[in-house]
Amino acid sequence: MNILTNLISLLREEAPFFLHLTVEHLLISLSAIVVASLIGVLLGIFISEYRKYAAWLLGAVNVLYTIPSIALLGFFISITGVGNLTALIALILYALLPIIRSTYTGITHINPLIIEAAEAMGSTRWQLLYKIKLPLALPVLMSGIRNMVTMTIALAGIASFVGAGGIDRRPDIINNKERFGDWEIDTIVGAFNKGAIVTLTERTTKMLLMKYLPNGKEAKGLAKAVIDLLLPYKDFVHSITSDNGSEFASHKLISKKLGAVFYFAHPYSSWERGLNENTNGLIRQYIPKGTSFEGITDKYIKQIQYKINSRSRETLGFECPKNLFFKKAA
- Which of 133, 163, 193 terminates a domain? The answer is 163
C-alpha dist (Å) from residue 323 to 234, 252, 275, 326: 18, 31, 18, 5
Percent of the chain with pLDDT over 70: 90
Looking at the structure, tell me whether residues 88 and 191 fall in a common domain: no
pLDDT surpasses 90 at 197: yes
Is the model's pLDDT at 191 over the cut of 80? yes
pLDDT band, residue 83 (cuts 50/70/90):
low
Residues 38 and 172 in one domain: no
The reply to whether 322 and 182 lie within a common domain is yes
Number of separate domains in the chain = 2
User: Which of 5-9, 241-245, 287-291 shows the lowest mean pLDDT across its residues?
Assistant: 5-9
Q: Which of 184, 166, 188, 191 is nearest to 267 (CA)?
A: 166
Say if residue 142 is in the same domain as residue 282: no
Last residue of a domain, one of 121, 141, 163: 163
What is the model's pLDDT at position 22? Answer: 77
Q: Kindly state the average pLDDT of the residues 270-289.
A: 87
Q: pLDDT grade, residue 321 (50/70/90)?
A: very high
CA max distance for the chain: 89
The more confident residue out of 67 and 258 is: 258
How confident is the model at residue 276, as a pLDDT?
Answer: 86
| Between 237 and 267, residue with greater pLDDT | 237
> Cα angle at 202 between 197 and 205, to 5 degrees?
130
The SS3 assignment for 269 reads coil
In this structure, is the dihedral angle defined by the CA atoms of residues 129, 133, 139 and 142, taken in order, positive or negative?
A: negative
Query: End of a domain among 163, 197, 232?
Result: 163
Same domain, residue pair 12 and 159: yes
Whether 206 has a pLDDT exceeding 70, the answer reads yes
pLDDT of 166 above 80 = no
86-90, 170-174, 233-237, 268-272: the lowest-pLDDT one: 268-272
Residue 329 in contact with residue 233, Cβ under 8 Å?
Answer: yes
User: What distance in Å separates the CA atoms of residue 252 and residue 273, rounded to the nearest whole number?
Assistant: 20
Residue that wins the pLDDT comparison between 72 and 208: 208
What's the average model confidence in pLDDT over 238-250?
85
| pLDDT mean across residues, the chain | 85
237 and 103 within one domain: no
Answer yes or no: is pLDDT of 127 > 60.
yes
pLDDT in tens, 11-35: 676 677 667 667 777 888 898 899 9
CATH number for the domain spanning 23: value is: 1.10.3720.10
